[in-house]
Structure 1
Amino acid sequence: MKVNVRGVHLELTDAIKQHVQTHLIRPIERFFDDEAAELEIHLRDRNGPKGGADMECSVTVRLPHAATIHVTEVDDDLYKAIDLARDRLETASKRALERSQDRRRDEVPVGDLPPVR
């Protein structure tokens, strides 16, 4: 999986990078082990020095031949926003995998189709 982590209006410290690696990237890799998959993470301070509930974690997962999953969470604490985004992304990922499996079950093998007259 290709991973891209960017900080917008904030510095990506080693502690933030470590938290993203252990709390976001590793859990998501359980669902998507495809090397062609892309995980894009944007960490952003919306209000800058003004403060408030403005720390945003935006995560996009792009899979080949599948839907793109996008999640955004905002909190006053960046670490909480990362954890909330992980939780929502896990839920969305499970749902997407279930949908793809349901679609496969609905397919009828060619041999089971009635003959054409």
Structure 2
Amino acid sequence: MQIVTQARGFDLTAGLREHVERRLRFALDWAHYQVGGISVLLSDINGPRGGADKRCRIRVKVVGMADVVIDDVQADLTIAVDRAVDRAGRTLARRLARQREHQHASLRTTQPELAASEAPTGVATPALK
């Protein structure tokens, strides 16, 4: 799983980069076959003025589906990262579950049609007792 982390408005430390990557791998490694890549943008919205202005934007590229994009803004950057990663994991799980349900539903509707089309015409089928 390829993770690209960028920072705007401050220097990205090795410790912060490791924290982001460790949290993402823990939260999304179960779906590594479906994830095409992850990009993380960390930014300080207000600069040195302070306040709840640390943003973490995570974009998860999902194979065959729309990207999962999560934004979180907090006063503490590590809290913003943790919340955004948790939300990204839940959102990805929900989308993949919906996709599986849709695939299973389409299989259920096509299987009776296939069974009916495979039965030879004019041949009586024995009744089951």
> Which bracket does the TM-score occupy, shorter chain normalised?
0.7 to 0.9
> Residues 86 and 37 of structure 1: is their aligned pair in 2 closer, same or farther, counting only changes over 3 Å?
same
Offset at 1:88?
Answer: 0.7
- Contact in 2 for aligned 1:69/1:93 (Cα 8 Å): yes
Sequence identity, in percent?
A: 25
Give the match's secondary structure for 1:43.
strand
- Contact in 1 for aligned 2:27/2:86 (Cα 8 Å): no
More helix by percentage: 2
- Normalising by structure 2, report the TM-score: 0.80
Structural RMSD (CA): 1.7
Give the match's secondary structure for 2:57.
strand
Structure 1 residues without counterparts, runs of 5 or longer: none
Offset at 1:8?
Answer: 0.9
Runs of 4+ in 1 over 6 A off after TM superposition: none
> Residues 25 and 45 of structure 1: is their aligned pair in 2 closer, same or farther, counting only changes over 3 Å?
farther
The answer to whether structure 1 residue 98 and structure 2 residue 114 are counterparts is: no
Higher RCO (CA-CA < 8 Å; seq separation 6+): 1
Q: Which has the larger radius of gyration?
A: 2
Give the match's secondary structure for 2:31.
coil
